[in-house]
Amino acid sequence: MPVDDSGLAGAIRRHEERLQREPESLAFAQLADLYRKAGRPRDAVAMCRRGLERYPHYTTARLILAKTLFGENEFDAALGELDAILQESPKEAQAHRLAAEIHRRRGQLDTAVGHLETAAKLDPADRESRALLGILRSTPTSEGNGLARVLADDTFVTASFGTLCLEQGLADEAAQIFTRMLRKDPDNPDARSGLEAALRARLRRKG
């Protein structure tokens, strides 16, 4: 969504003026990111692609391009850019995190877990990746409180019960249910949307 921010507009203007003076400057990447934040994805994509024609190994610009494409739900194109980054810079933690998010949204949990594991190893301070790993790796157990024992029963691994948990503020439990559903059926749209809703609820609770 467009951002109504005079400071952002001023920064865009300054970067545009700089690129007019210095057309070979690497500032194109910052300008593209400003376009992205201002809700101008087409301008951001065009700016990145023009700059990458000149500087194809500029990882920052390619990551901004991937983020922009992801924001437009162009997952295949975004993954293409991330693959290019990781082939050249396999230790780029941000690229692994974004790749994990795309694969998670597609229901490809094992691939998402692989990227999150790498991101967590590369960035020891990355608590969010570790938290997501705990959810996506979750396995049912009959130990613990009454609800934990209920969740260990496949009878309750349904979209309706996951939604009920979410409505009751039990975001972690809902995420566990939808994760288990996706492990059985990665193409289940209710499980995909339910997991994303549960993860958003977790973030709101933490915030």
pLDDT digits (tens, 9 = 90+) for 155-185: 888 999 999 999 999 998 899 999 999 999 9
The pLDDT value given to residue 150 = 63
Mean pLDDT (the chain) is 90
Q: What confidence score (pLDDT) does residue 205 get?
A: 80
pLDDT confidence band for 137 (50 / 70 / 90): confident
Q: Which of 60-74, 133-147, 154-168 has the lowest mean pLDDT?
A: 133-147
Percentage of the chain lying above the pLDDT 70 cut: 89
Closest CA to 193 of 205, 170, 177: 177
Asked if the model's pLDDT at residue 200 lies above 80, the reply is yes
Q: Which of 39, 42, 33, 36 is nearest to 61 (CA)?
A: 33
pLDDT at 140 over 60: no
The whole-angstrom separation of Cα 168 and Cα 29 is 43
* pLDDT score recorded for residue 145: 53
Rounded CA separation 68/148 (Å): 39
More confident residue, 131 or 141: 131
The dihedral built from the CA positions of residue 115, 124, 148 and 172, taken in this order, carries a sign that is negative
* Position 30 pLDDT exceeds 80: yes
**Model confidence pLDDT, tens digit, residues 72-113:** 999 999 999 999 999 999 999 999 999 999 999 999 999 999
* pLDDT at residue number 139: 61
**pLDDT at residue 142 is higher than 50:** no
Q: Is the pLDDT of residue 189 over 50?
A: yes
Tokens of 1: 């969504």
pLDDT at 57 over 60: yes
Provide CB contacts within 8 A for 40, sequence distance 6+: 2
C-alpha 159 chain-centroid distance: 23
pLDDT at residue 141 tops 90: no
Give the closest residue to 112 by CA, choosing from 84, 82, 88, 87: 82
Confidence bin at 204 (pLDDT 50/70/90): confident
